[in-house]
Chain A
Amino acid sequence: MDFRAFPWRAACGRRKLSTTTDKRVGRNTMKHMSKVALLCAGLALAACTNADRFDDTNTVDLNGAGAGGFAPGSAQDPNSPLYFQQAIGDRVLFAVDQSTLSPAAMGTLDGQAQWLMSNADYTAIIEGHADEQGTREYNLALGARRANSVQEYLVSKGVAPSRLKVVSYGKERPIEICSSEACYAKNRRAVTVISVVPTS
């Protein structure tokens, strides 16, 4: 199957999810293409992937480890990481230079908190990012502020602090590469990347 055949993909342009998540997306979208396609159309940020990425051999399949039962791992499975990522939304956006959460961001984070509360097997790393307008050092610190805002909010909603880590990438990992506000707005973000607690 060639993704390039799908017209929605062209509309998405050259985008991808955060590096940590896109590998999973590759496998999952293979199975649930039509649904994902719909979601992509609906969610401005979702599932626009980079064709090269599908060649990755070391993709991590979370399906087996995810919550079992009904349609495991699918975006419809409310306990799946894909659901977290796409239906709830794994990211919140920030205004220029800001790290305060907008009402929309709080709504998203309420969903994230809920999901994390009901899926105790998962931990999360919150990645803070900045757009390219700013020095490298300052943007690292700014990204850290953003990630911290998200972390504090999730903790205030009951998620155990031990399950949340923060990291800032500053301007090192943009998802949008144009040099205009349309892209900058999407790059000023904090992404909650979930992962499975290693079974010991």
Chain B
Amino acid sequence: MMRYVLSLLLACFMWAVPVAAQDGPLRIEITEGVIEPMPFAAPDFVSDNAAGAELGRQIANVIAADLAGTGLFREIQPEAFISKITSFSSPVQFADWKAINAQALITGAVSVDDGGKVIVRFRLFDVFAGQELGDGLQLVGTQAGWRRIAHKVADQVYSRITGEAPYFDSRVVFVAETGPKDARQKRLAIMDYDGANVKYLTDSSSIVLAPRFSPNGDRVLYTSYESGFPRIYLLDVGSVQRRVLESQDGTMSFAPRFGPDGQTVVYSLTRGGNTDLYRMDLNTGANTRLTSAPSIETAPSFSPDGSQIVFESDRSGVPQIYVMPAGGGEARRISFGQGRYGTPVWSPRGDLIAFTKQSKGRFHIGVMRTDGSEERLLTASFLDEGPTWAPNGRVIMFTRETQGAQGRASLYTVDITGRNPRQVPTSTGASDPAWSPLQD
């Protein structure tokens, strides 16, 4: 009996201390880690002439800003650097970078040829492993397009380290706002995702709302009061030419969004006070009615495969989120939380739906799975609305408006984990962002 008890006891111990009986390698399992920005160093890209050197500095700055802006990386300030990168090809002194805890190191070289063509080469190192990650790349662009080159380098680095798809080389179309709240002037504008290179697409003579990119970023759909009534316009980003989409007198159309084919548009049409969803074929102009309910149906968004549409409806009494087949038909409610849900947008990855939620006098941007489960609120403020996805589905941009008579709208981004909320710098007020796909 004693023996039995003891062996049981010992068995118990052996099970808890497997190493005691084991031969071969020591085995441990790591299930807890830390989540923190990875420190990186991006010294100025080297160049053999002054013009290139200045460009090399600027490019390194943009790369650093891109990476640090994700919240996944932390830039080590150049003042801390021990060794200097003077040549692109000479070996890296890893110990010097280890000493300042730089885990990733980005080096590069810029050369500007006589024709003004800019050639940028870069390499990425895992400092602690003492290895180069991937193969360095060479990018060629124009001097005016140097920021895009920098974004592309940063995209490569981001992708290589995190495994996420890139998104820095993208643009945002939005509504630039000036003037007081009760006399606000709105213009359509386009800029780089980081707020640089703002270009206006319309004047401020009429209200414009909620621009949306086509799947390849060449065109924008938006709503304008140009005719005195809300109508949908299609604007070519390159030529800035626009045309109004056909609509009947006495109706209002708004909240347009492209389907993944770039030819189908889904939108809201209001007739006799009732708002329903329609889809239009841009080639033929043919319209199909998708919903017919006395309730409000608006803010439609296609799934990336084009098979379904998520939208907002108040058929239950308060606005909630529903999903239906892209050709219309029975809709299934997916949001069940307290409060009001609106402006659902399907993630480009297809796995999540971002939305605006209004609850207890606060607005939130949140995400949920496409069946409505795992709802997670990412932000909270007086007024957050209108989420749009980064092309890689990892970051969401939205409008945040401050409270009161001096209220002003600005653009913010947030990681889908809810980390790293930050404002996108814009010189004017800004609202209704729409993120472009990654540029070619």
Indicate whether B36 reaches chain A with its CB closer than 8 angstroms. Answer: no
A144 touches B275 (CB 8 A): yes
Given contacts A135-B385, A174-B181, A177-B180, contact A168 B299 (CB under 8 A): no
Given contacts A16-B182, A177-B180, contact A138 B299 (CB under 8 A): yes
At the interface with chain A, which of B20-28, B98-106, B250-258? B250-258
Interface size class of B (residues with CB under 8 A): 35 or more
Given contacts A137-B255, A168-B230, contact A144 B403 (CB under 8 A): no
A115 to chain B, nearest CB (A): 23
Q: Which of A16, A140, A172 contacts B298 (CB under 8 A)?
A: A140
Smallest Cβ-Cβ distance to B385: which chain A residue: A135
B275 to chain A, nearest CB (A): 4
Indicate whether B314 reaches chain A with its CB closer than 8 angstroms. Answer: yes
A14 touches B228 (CB 8 A): no
B405 touches A133 (CB 8 A): no
A135 touches B273 (CB 8 A): no
Chain A residue numbers with a CB within 8 Å of B207 are 169, 172
Indicate whether A159 reaches chain B with its CB closer than 8 angstroms. Answer: no
Indicate whether A11 reaches chain B with its CB closer than 8 angstroms. Answer: no
Chain B residue numbers with a CB within 8 Å of A147 are 273
Q: Which of A16, A141, A174, A176 contacts B275 (CB under 8 A)?
A: A141
Which chain B residues (219-264) contact chain A, with CB distance < 8 Å?
Answer: 228-230, 250, 252, 254-255
Indicate whether B18 reaches chain A with its CB closer than 8 angstroms. Answer: no
Indicate whether B107 reaches chain A with its CB closer than 8 angstroms. Answer: no
> Contact string, A1-32, partner B, CB cutoff 8 A, digits 1/0?
00000000000001010010000000000000
Which chain A residues (104-156) contact chain B, with CB distance < 8 Å?
Answer: 125, 132-138, 140-142, 144-145, 147-149, 151-152
Given contacts A16-B182, A168-B230, A177-B405, contact A135 B312 (CB under 8 A): yes
A144 touches B299 (CB 8 A): no
Q: In the bound complex, how far is the Cα of B189 from the Cα of A51, in angstroms?
A: 30
B385 touches A136 (CB 8 A): yes
Given contacts A138-B342, A141-B296, contact A132 B252 (CB under 8 A): no
B356 touches A135 (CB 8 A): yes
Which chain B residues (309-367) contact chain A, with CB distance < 8 Å?
Answer: 312, 314, 318-319, 340, 342-343, 356, 358
B403 touches A179 (CB 8 A): yes
Indicate whether A165 reaches chain B with its CB closer than 8 angstroms. Answer: yes
Interface size class of A (residues with CB under 8 A): 35 or more
Q: Which of B182, B210, B319, B405 contacts A138 (CB under 8 A)?
A: B319
B312 to chain A, nearest CB (A): 6
Interface centre among B207, B210, B229, B230 (most CB of A within 10 A): B230
Q: Which of A99, A134, A144, A173 contacts B252 (CB under 8 A)?
A: A144
Q: In the bound complex, how far is the Cα of B404 from the Cα of A176, in angstroms?
A: 10
Given contacts A135-B342, A167-B228, contact A178 B299 (CB under 8 A): no
A134 touches B182 (CB 8 A): no
Interface centre among B183, B273, B296, B319 (most CB of A within 10 A): B273
Chain B residue numbers with a CB within 8 Å of A133 are 358
Given contacts A135-B342, A166-B273, A167-B230, contact A141 B298 (CB under 8 A): yes
Indicate whether B38 reaches chain A with its CB closer than 8 angstroms. Answer: no
Chain B residue numbers with a CB within 8 Å of A36 are none
Indicate whether B268 reaches chain A with its CB closer than 8 angstroms. Answer: yes
Indicate whether A175 reaches chain B with its CB closer than 8 angstroms. Answer: yes
Chain A residue numbers with a CB within 8 Å of B115 are none
Which chain B residues (386-425) contact chain A, with CB distance < 8 Å?
Answer: 386, 401, 403-405, 407
A99 touches B343 (CB 8 A): no
Indicate whether B382 reaches chain A with its CB closer than 8 angstroms. Answer: yes
Given contacts A142-B296, A167-B230, A179-B404, contact A137 B312 (CB under 8 A): yes
Indicate whether B199 reaches chain A with its CB closer than 8 angstroms. Answer: no
Smallest Cβ-Cβ distance to B298: which chain A residue: A137
Smallest Cβ-Cβ distance to B270: which chain A residue: A144
Chain A residue numbers with a CB within 8 Å of B60 are none
B252 touches A140 (CB 8 A): yes
Chain A residue numbers with a CB within 8 Å of B342 are 134-135, 137-138
> Contact string, B178-190, partner A, CB cutoff 8 A, digits 1/0?
0011111000000
Indicate whether B68 reaches chain A with its CB closer than 8 angstroms. Answer: no
A140 touches B254 (CB 8 A): yes
Q: In the bound complex, how far is the Cα of B248 from the Cα of A165, in angstroms?
A: 13
Given contacts A138-B312, A140-B298, A149-B273, contact A179 B382 (CB under 8 A): yes
Indicate whether B383 reaches chain A with its CB closer than 8 angstroms. Answer: yes
Q: In the bound complex, how far is the Cα of B363 from the Cα of A142, in angstroms?
A: 18
A160 to chain B, nearest CB (A): 14
A141 touches B272 (CB 8 A): no
Smallest Cβ-Cβ distance to A13: which chain B residue: B405
B210 touches A137 (CB 8 A): yes
B351 to chain A, nearest CB (A): 23
Indicate whether B192 reaches chain A with its CB closer than 8 angstroms. Answer: no
Given contacts A167-B229, A168-B252, A178-B405, contact A137 B299 (CB under 8 A): yes
Smallest Cβ-Cβ distance to A99: which chain B residue: B273
> Contact string, B279-306, partner A, CB cutoff 8 A, digits 1/0?
0000000000000000010110000000
Q: In the bound complex, how far is the Cα of B107 from the Cα of A66, in angstroms?
A: 75
> Contact string, A159-200, partner B, CB cutoff 8 A, digits 1/0?
000000111110011111111000000000000000000000
| Nearest 5 Cβ contacts at the A-B interface | A148-B273, A141-B275, A135-B342, A177-B181, A141-B296
A sample of 13 inter-chain contacts (CB < 8 A) reads A135-B299, A137-B268, A137-B299, A140-B230, A140-B252, A140-B275, A141-B296, A165-B250, A166-B250, A167-B252, A172-B207, A178-B405, A179-B404
Beyond A138-B298, A176-B182, list 19 extra A-B contacts (CB 8 Å).
A16-B182, A97-B318, A99-B273, A132-B383, A135-B312, A135-B342, A136-B386, A137-B312, A140-B254, A140-B255, A144-B270, A145-B274, A145-B275, A148-B274, A166-B250, A168-B230, A168-B252, A174-B181, A178-B404
